[in-house]
C-alpha cells in the first residue's frame, strides 16, 4: 500500500514505447523507475539485466526491476499488437496498456518503513551487483601515504563495510565525522549549501578532510543515488597503525598542517586577497560580499596525479588553488606549472564555454576552494549592485561580444515591434533597462508576480512549465507582454538562460508613459497579447 500510494500510472497506446532505467538517459522521464503492467499486453522490447527481447508481458509483469533496486540496468517496454485471430484480443490490444511506474527514491522510502522488507530488498540488490574491483587501499589518500602491504594488513581488521540504499544520506551536513568512506559500488550525489555540486562514483572517496582532521563536522551532504557499497576507515584506527610506519606517519602529519589553506576564521583575508587578484573580482567589490561568497566555497583536497579539472567536469564552477602545485594543459598547447593563488575557470561562473577545456592535474597535494555557479547566482540576488559588476565583466568577454555582434538585435528590428511608429519606439528605447543573465539563471519564474516585459537582444533561454521544457526563446524574441499590459499578474512559465543572455526590460510604468503620448499603439499591443495568449492556450490543450 505504501509503494502503490507513491506510484504513478502511465498509458501506452499501440506503437508507443517507454525507456526505463539507464536507457532513459540523464534527463529521461523513465530514469530511476520500474514499471508493472496493470492491464493489457506489453512487449518487453529490450532488457539489459536479463538479456531478454521481444517478450510478451501480461498484467503483473515487471519491467526493469533493477532500476528501483538502485543497480545498473535498463529496459524498453512498448505497446504492440501481437498477431492473433481473436477479435477480442485485437480490440483489447488496440486499447493500449496501463503501467504502474514506481520511482526509485519513493520505493526505498516506503521500504525503509518496514525493516524486514528493507533487509530482503537490500539482499536482492546486493545479489545483482557485479564483484567489486577495488578497495579502500587504492584510495588516493592511502596511496599518497605510501601504505605498504604489511601496513594495509594491519588496517584490514578496522575496515567496516556499509550498505546505503538509494536516497540514504551517507554523510549528513554538520555531522561530526572522522571517517573516510570509499565507494566500492554505486554512485552518490554531493550536496553543498542545498545545491548538487558533483557526483562520486566507484573508487571515489568521501570525507577526506574530516578524516585528516581539517574539518570537525561535515560541510556536505552525500546522498546515495544508486545502491552504494562502502568501505570505511576511522582516523583513530589509522593513527594507531601509523606508529609503526615512520615515513607514512610523517606524510600524515604534513596533511594535518594544511588546515591554514582551507576556510578558517584566522586566514580568510589571505584567501580573499587571492580572489581579488583576478579581474572578475578586483578591489571594488565590498568586503562583506567577498566574505559571503567565500563562505559559499567548497573545500577540496587533491593528491599527486589526481585530476582537478578535466573535460568531463561540469563547466559550472570556479577553482581557486590555495596551496600546492599543478600542471595546466590544453590540447595543442604546452603545459605549464601553476601554484598558490591561481584561479581557474572563472568565466564558468557566468556561462558554460564551448570547445576544448584545459586539464588541471595535481603535482603535489593541492588545497582547492571551488565556487558553484548556482550558489553565486543565488548570492547575487541579494546584492543587485554587485550583480551589475559581474554583468559588466560579462559584456567585456569576447564570447558575449561575438554573440551580440552576430544577432545585432534591437527594438527597431524585432518582429514584435515592426508595425510600431519610430517615435514611439524611440521613447520606449530610452526607458529600457539592460541586463545580462548568466547560464542557469532564471529570468522569470512561474507563479511569481511581475509586470515587466523582457526583450532578448542575444542569447538563448529555455521556457519551462512545471519544470518541463516547453519551448525556447532567443535573440530577436520577447516575452511578458501580457504582464506589462496588466492582463496577467503571475508568470505562467519559468524562463532559464542557457547561454549568456543580453536582455532589455520594459517596465509597465515606462510603457504606460509612452502610451499616454501615443495612445494609438495600445490596440497593437493588446492585439499581439491576445494572439500570444491564444497560441499558448492551444499548445496547452494539445492543439484542440
Sequence ranges of the domains in the chain:
2-110, 136-245, 262-378, 409-540
Looking at the domain 409-540, which fold is it? Answer: Jelly Rolls (2.60.120)
- Top CATH class, 136-245: mainly beta
Work out whether the CA dihedral 103, 104, 109, 110 comes out positive or negative: positive
Return all residues near 220 (Cβ < 8 A) that are at least 6 apart. 171, 173, 190, 191, 192, 298
Q: Which residues of 499-530 are buried (b: 16+ CB within 10 A; e: fewer)?
A: bbbbbbbbebebbeebbeebeebeebbeebbe
- Report pLDDT for 541: 53
- Top CATH class, 262-378: mainly beta
- Report pLDDT for 333: 81
- Report pLDDT for 146: 87
- Which parts of 301-452 fold into alpha helices (H)? 373-381, 384-396, 398-407, 422-430
CATH 2.60.120.10 fits 2-110, yes or no: yes
Distance CA 192, CA 441 (A): 18
Q: Which residues of the chain have pLDDT under 50?
A: 23-30, 542-544
Supply the pTM of this predicted model: 0.85
Q: Are 322 and 262 in contact (CB under 8 A)?
A: yes
- Report pLDDT for 25: 46
- Report pLDDT for 191: 97
- Report pLDDT for 538: 59
- Report pLDDT for 402: 76
Q: Can 2-110 and 262-378 be said to share one CATH topology? A: yes
CA separation (Å) from 384 to 422, 470, 489? 33, 29, 23
- Report pLDDT for 237: 93
Amino acid at each position: 500500500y505504501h509503494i502503490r500510494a507513491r506510484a504513478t500510472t502511465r498509458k501506452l497506446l499501440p506503437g508507443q514505447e517507454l525507456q526505463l532505467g539507464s536507457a532513459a538517459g540523464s534527463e529521461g522521464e523513465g530514469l530511476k523507475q520500474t514499471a508493472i503492467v496493470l492491464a493489457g499486453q506489453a512487449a518487453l522490447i529490450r532488457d539489459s539485466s536479463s538479456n531478454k527481447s521481444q517478450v510478451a508481458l501480461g498484467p503483473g509483469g515487471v519491467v526493469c526491476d533493477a532500476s528501483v533496486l538502485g543497480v545498473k540496468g535498463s529496459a524498453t517496454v512498448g505497446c504492440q499488437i501481437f498477431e492473433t485471430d481473436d477479435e477480442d484480443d485485437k480490440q483489447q490490444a488496440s486499447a493500449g496498456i496501463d503501467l504502474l511506474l514506481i520511482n526509485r527514491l519513493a520505493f526505498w522510502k516506503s521500504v525503509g518503513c518496514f525493516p524486514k522488507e528493507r533487509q530482503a530488498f537490500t539482499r536482492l540488490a546486493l545479489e545483482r551487483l557485479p564483484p567489486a574491483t577495488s578497495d579502500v587501499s587504492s584510495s588516493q589518500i592511502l596511496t599518497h601515504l605510501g601504505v605498504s602491504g604489511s601496513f594495509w594488513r594491519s588496517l584490514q581488521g578496522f575496515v567496516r563495510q556499509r550498505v546505503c540504499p538509494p536516497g540514504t544520506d551517507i554523510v549528513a551536513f554538520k555531522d561530526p565525522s572522522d571517517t573516510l568512506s570509499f565507494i566500492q559500488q554505486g554512485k552518490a550525489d554531493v550536496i553543498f549549501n542545498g545545491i548538487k555540486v558533483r557526483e562520486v562514483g566507484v573508487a571515489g572517496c568521501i570525507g577526506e578532510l574530516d578524516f585528516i582532521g581539517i574539518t570537525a563536522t561535515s560541510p556536505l551532504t552525500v546522498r546515495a543515488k544508486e545502491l552504494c557499497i562502502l568501505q570505511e576507515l576511522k582516523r583513530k584506527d589509522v593513527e594507531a597503525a601509523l606508529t609503526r610506519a615512520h615515513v607514512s606517519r610523517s606524510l600524515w602529519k604534513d596533511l594535518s598542517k594544511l588546515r591554514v589553506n582551507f576556510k578558517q576564521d584566522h586566514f580568510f583575508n589571505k584567501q580573499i586577497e587571492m580572489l581579488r587578484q583576478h579581474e572578475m573580482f578586483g578591489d571594488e567589490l565590498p568586503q562583506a560580499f567577498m566574505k559571503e561568497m567565500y563562505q559559499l566555497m567548497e573545500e577540496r583536497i587533491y593528491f599527486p596525479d589526481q585530476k582537478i579539472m578535466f573535460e568531463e567536469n561540469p563547466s559550472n564552477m570556479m577553482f581557486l588553488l590555495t596551496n600546492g602545485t599543478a600542471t595546466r594543459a590544453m590540447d595543442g598547447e604546452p603545459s605549464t606549472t601553476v601554484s598558490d593563488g591561481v584561479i581557474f575557470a572563472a568565466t564558468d561562473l557566468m556561462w558554460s564555454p564551448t570547445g576544448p577545456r584545459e586539464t588541471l592535474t595535481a603535482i603535489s597535494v593541492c588545497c582547492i576552494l571551488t565556487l558553484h555557479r548556482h550558489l553565486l547566482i543565488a548570492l547575487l540576488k541579494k546584492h543587485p549592485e554587485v550583480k551589475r559588476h559581474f554583468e559588466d565583466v560579462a559584456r567585456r568577454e569576447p564570447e558575449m561580444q561575438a554573440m551580440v555582434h552576430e544577432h545585432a538585435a534591437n527594438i527597431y528590428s524585432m518582429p514584435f515591434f515592426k508595425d510600431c511608429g519610430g517615435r514611439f519606439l524611440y521613447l520606449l528605447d530610452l526607458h529600457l533597462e539592460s541586463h545580462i543573465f548568466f547560464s542557469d539563471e532564471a529570468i522569470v519564474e512561474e507563479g511569481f508576480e511581475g509586470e515587466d516585459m523582457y526583450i532578448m537582444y542575444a542569447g538563448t533561454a529555455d521556457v519551462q512549465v512545471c519544470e518541463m521544457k516547453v519551448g525556447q526563446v532567443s535573440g530577436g524574441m520577447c516575452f511578458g507582454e501580457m504582464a506589462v499590459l496588466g492582463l496577467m499578474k503571475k508568470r505562467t512559465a519559468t524562463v532559464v538562460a542557457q547561454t549568456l543572455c543580453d536582455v532589455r526590460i520594459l517596465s509597465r510604468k515606462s510603457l504606460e508613459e509612452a502610451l499616454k503620448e501615443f495612445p494609438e499603439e495600445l490596440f497593437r499591443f493588446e492585439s499581439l497579447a491576445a494572439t500570444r495568449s491564444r497560441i499558448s492556450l492551444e499548445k496547452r490543450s494539445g492543439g484542440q
